[in-house]
Structure 1
Amino acid sequence: MSTHPSEREPLLPERSPTVVHHEETQPNPAHSRVGPLDISRSTRYGILAGVWSASFLSALNQTLVPTMLPSISSEFKSFNQASWLGTSYLLATCTFTPLYGRLCNGMGRKNANHLALLFAGAGVLGCGLSNSMEMLILSRFLAGIGGGGLMTTSSIIVSDMYSMRSRGLTQGIASVFNGLGLGLGGPFGGIITDWLGWRWAFLIQVPFFIISFSLTSGFLHYVTPGKGKSTREILKRIDYGGSAMLFMTVGAVLVFLSARYNEGLPWSNITVVISLSVAAVCSVAFILVELFVSPEPVLAPFLLKKKIPVLVGASNFLVATCNFSIIYFFPMYFQTVLATSAATAGLHLVPNSVGLSLGSLFAGYMMHLTGRYKTINLIFGWFPFIGAVMIASLDKDSSTYMTWLSIMPLGFGNAVVLQTMLIALLVRLPESQMAIGTGFGQLFRGIGQVGGVAISSAVFQSRLDGALRQRIQGPNAEDIILKIRQSSNAVASLPADLQKIARESYAMSLKTVFVFSACSTLLAFLVRLPIPDKHLDHRPKSEVTEAEADIESLIEPGVPDDVGYLFEDVVEDEEVPDLDGKHPPRHRRRLSTYESAEDVLALELEIEEEEAEISQGQQTDSPTR
């Protein structure tokens, strides 16, 4: 019989008989009883190297493709399908990221991280070996399933290993790796494409995924405090229905946009009709599942009853739409209109990343200094609009200063907006709902990222087709237009007169995309105007805050007290009677499947404590009854 502690056996039974531990590995007794705060420095650094290298690769893959689009689409002769290379990755990340917190409980930290590594590594390898656009798009989707999981599992593992006092600095360092990945994706993709070809931009990453897997396999052996719930009990609470409906809704919208605008199919086409119908039906089904069915909904629908969360969500959607529209089409301007190399086009995204980093630091410092967020949001919230307008005004005669720095206000302003809007939402929630509020904002950002690439691609292709048809006439016009739309690299091989027409048409189409981005960020600014300011003080956690009162106001007058259970932090999907046993059992649901690292560490702690109090209360009352 094994002497190793099981997941239901207390590690320190003398301290808490209800607390047991999830083991990240079983074989080595030397490892099995070490908690995350007690591991050696070398072990901790080995784990960090493993998870941060993987999260860096995940961030890199989000912005890797834009500078490679002309080369990829030219090889497969399908430029009008190229937007799927971005949307497939972002769609998978948006849909599957919320599930990994639950997988960390059900499978353990290491197994959940390895599952994400498997999807991400297999997807990246498949991208490098793809022999068709369809295979490349599918591989990007697989990479996205793992990419979002790497971010989530990395955050949870880091939170395991550091105390609250040290966690802020450590997560800040983790954000640097994330920012580097986002900033280097475009230049890396462009340089490798020019040097070795686009496939190697994917294949070069594979050894690093293997290194990350080896590091976490060798070092990630600590045990984490958790509850003795089986994997089945934990995994059954995942919002499979909501995730499936969200995936089908967004996916159907993408198919509709691609069929109607990228492919130019008529409204009566069966693909257009079916995709639009599926999107409508699944969107309604998603709302119903989130409101009435899922024990732990992805959406956190109770926040939709409040004005400020809805406005913050709308702002996040529009900001992400603007940001990713420009990120995916800005490099194309230099490659197709100005005829630069892919490497040079990618380097033009670096000022955006610098602006994002500076904007995040500036917003955090100013909110810490002043205790306010409204003023800096009003001032610097204009910057993305200014940046988008500057980008839309670019032409072949623009100065070097304009071509390189016009995107910087966009990144700086968007960073300030996202930071201040997160605080505007969280300051009105009690501390127990911080993770849910963060997840709520992330969900709308994720959908905005997918929508930004898909909608801007539809706008671009529709405008390009119209511009080409207006300028190119003759018996071979259809073939020439199709060639230009399917391969941007084919522009350079055209006769001088057609080449000029093609570049002008690309310039007009890209300008339309940038104007669309400017309108999105302007609308986001207007949406944020009704959000009030609030002083950010430093009251002790034990005090009753106004945020807690805000949550109480979510329960409408006249609604039975049972509904209050909808707003508890952690609940069990079972019936729990009152202490006196007189009230009927009540069924309770979690607010959302999004959870902080602390929630993952103690998924059912509050319920077990409540059950213990119930038992103790019954024993205390029994002599007097």
Structure 2
Amino acid sequence: MTTGTTDNSSKDQHHHLPHLHPNIIKDSSAGGAGIIAGELAAEDEGLISNAQLKSHSYGAIQASSSEDTISSADDNGGYALPKRQLFTVISSLFMAAYLAALDMTVVTTLLTLIASDLKSISNISWIATAYLLSCSAFQPLFGKLSDIFGRKNLLMLCCAFFAVGCMICVTDSLFWLVIGRFVTGIGGSGLTSLGTITMSDLIPLRDRGFYQGLANVFFGLGSASGGMVGGLIADYFGWKYVFILQVPLAVVLGVSLYLNLNLPEGSPGLGAHGVDIRQKLKRVDFLGSFCLVSSLMLILTAASLGGKDIPYSSNTFIALVSTSFFLLGAFGYVEAYVSEEPIIPIHLLANRTILASSLTNWFYTMGIFTYLFYIPVYYTSVMQFTATQNGLRLVPNFFGVSIGSIGAGIYMRSTGKYYNFTIAVGILSVIGVIRILCISPEIPTWEQFVLLLPSGLGYSSMLTVTLLSLIAAVPAKYQACTTSIQYTFRSTGSTLGVAIASAIFQNLLRSNLYTKIYALVPDKDEAAEIIAQALANTNYSNHAPTALIKQAIIDSYANGCRGAFWFSVITVIVGFATSLFMREHKLHTSINRD
């Protein structure tokens, strides 16, 4: 089904493939280990062959196959474009990564200011949540859509969404600000995932890791500088200019890509050939897309607001989680049995490397984002650091992430290998999070600054390695799909990880406070007031009535953070274990995978 019409023989061949994935997914007795064991058995018995994998029609262009060649690759040293044009496009994609990451964090320092200006303090969380929700929920769609409509067209659309969303944010209405952030998130998610997908159309796998490492650095720069940039612009011009000034950047980015992203004949990024827009629209899996996006929106909303705006025991929270799982199951059924061109072909998860890489990404991201969230809480509540002292101790982590991202790319470019490297950085990550678990108020100052370096270096290396392993494990026509799979696991992992860790932290903090404060304060009403203040303000210990109560609050926060750190250690260890199931695949030196 690589064109608007379907070849009967290929369709018959597809329908006679062994449908292992529904049985694997529905095997409730197996759990995660069963999924891996089932896949290994399928591979060992030859039930899922490379020929069958390649025969499935996910590709975008007519007669797409692993034997197709890109017309200009040999003339450009294995790359898809001449060097000058390639440099311009890659630079634009790096800027897209920076802009999307910056917009994630640019409002973090402005939430109180904006909410106060709009007189909506009670709904402050939606200003930040709206962008993250749409960014995570829509990210999985862009791989398949770009295979149908072409990378350039989708990138132009995402630039338009980003610019329009920022313009909507220039408002005096909280409702329209939230809508604007949601629209901007759709554009930002596409810029991130499509940038990664498009680089795979341009760069050989052997060099792909190095460029991905650079892209990760730009993404990290955007995330790290968002708060500072937002604060400076708001101080000098007002918070609305934070959004106004992003509009021309999105326009310039779109124009640059429009003029320079001219993929050569044979590239999977060109989209479907020889069909009009109506035929392309018929190929879009609207039902599967609706189920997936709705499921992710609901579960991410529950994860973001659960325990804070929505109690875990409330009917609203239970309904959100139940409906999201129902829609996720419906998505699996639609992709497996209904859709002829699934938005994310579930059968690819029967590939050992794809499944292992995806789970590695998922668990690592859960663990890393947990400690990134709770290390500052520990520094503030237990070690009594100011915001400036806290921020300075997080700066070295950026250098660890940069070294890991680029170092992984250099290693893979020079050796063409990644499996042993994955094991090495995995061990480094595990050691790093165990050291975080052992943190105490007596930790030396120098160690405070380097505490996050080992795990940050290991995590950033893992991101680069798992992306390359996913792409290398399948024919070129699947590279957009597998990239979408990685971003889906990564975005849901970060949100769910912080949500689960938050539940652990809150429960431990509350139980510790109740035990310790009621033992120290005979008056129950006074004790209840102290507990309420301590739960609401991490710095309340500085205003505690006595030294004993202050220490009890500090110890309670320390135990709460330690529970979150235990969750981080467990998830990173599980992520390391799943990475061992990846296989070494060839990293080609040309876009044409010969």
TM-score (norm 1): 0.66
1:229 to 2:275 alignment: yes
User: Which amino acid in 1 is paired with 2:478?
Assistant: Q
Contact 2:509 2:557 in 1 (8 A): yes
For each residue in 1:355-404, what CA deviation from the matched residue of structure 2 results, as whole angstroms up to 9, or x when unmatched?
22222333333344444433222222112222212222223321122211
In structure 2, the CA distance between the partners of 1:194 and 1:458, relative to structure 1 (3 Å rule), is: farther
Match in the other structure for 2:375: 330
Match in the other structure for 2:223: 185
Match in the other structure for 1:270: 315
User: Which amino acid in 2 is paired with 1:233?
Assistant: Q
Match in the other structure for 2:41: none
Match in the other structure for 2:446: 401
Contact 2:404 2:458 in 1 (8 A): yes
Bigger CA radius of gyration: 1
1:506 to 2:557 alignment: yes
1:240 to 283, 286, 297: 286
Match in the other structure for 1:520: 571
Aligned residues: 502
Contact 1:384 1:413 in 2 (8 A): yes
- Structure 1 residue runs without a partner (length 5+): 1-17, 20-36, 544-625
2:502 to 449, 453, 457: 457
1:96 to 2:138 alignment: yes
TM-score (norm 2): 0.69
Contact 1:63 1:182 in 2 (8 A): no
TM superposition shift of 1:103: 6.0
In structure 2, the CA distance between the partners of 1:67 and 1:505, relative to structure 1 (3 Å rule), is: farther
Match in the other structure for 1:253: 299
TM superposition shift of 1:447: 2.0
For each residue in 1:396-419, what CA deviation from the matched residue of structure 2 results, as whole angstroms up to 9, or x when unmatched?
321122211111111111133333
2:432 to 360, 367, 387: 387
1:289 to 2:327 alignment: no
Question: How far, CA to CA, are the matches of 1:449 and 1:376 in structure 2?
Answer: 24
* Residue pairs, 1:74-473, within 5 angstroms: 88-100=130-142, 112-113=154-155, 115-121=157-163, 140-154=181-195, 176=214, 178-183=216-221, 185-186=223-224, 188-189=226-227, 193=231, 203-204=241-242, 206-214=244-252, 216-217=254-255, 220-221=258-259, 227-257=273-303, 261-262=307-308, 265=311, 267=313, 269-473=314-518
Contact 1:258 1:458 in 2 (8 A): no
- Structure 2 residue runs without a partner (length 5+): 1-60, 63-79, 519-523
Match in the other structure for 1:567: none
TM superposition shift of 1:118: 4.7
In structure 2, the CA distance between the partners of 1:142 and 1:464, relative to structure 1 (3 Å rule), is: farther
1:475 to 2:525 alignment: yes
Match in the other structure for 1:605: none
TM superposition shift of 1:148: 1.0
2:101 to 30, 42, 59: 59
Contact 1:105 1:231 in 2 (8 A): no
In structure 2, the CA distance between the partners of 1:198 and 1:416, relative to structure 1 (3 Å rule), is: farther
- 2:371 partner SS: helix
- 1:189 partner SS: helix
User: Which amino acid in 2 is paired with 1:146?
Assistant: G
Question: How far, CA to CA, are the matches of 2:528 and 2:172 in structure 1?
Answer: 29
In structure 2, the CA distance between the partners of 1:215 and 1:340, relative to structure 1 (3 Å rule), is: same
Contact 2:230 2:242 in 1 (8 A): no
User: Which amino acid in 2 is paired with 1:243?
Assistant: S
Q: Which moved more, 1:149-158 or 1:206-215?
A: 149-158
Percentage of pairs with the same residue: 26
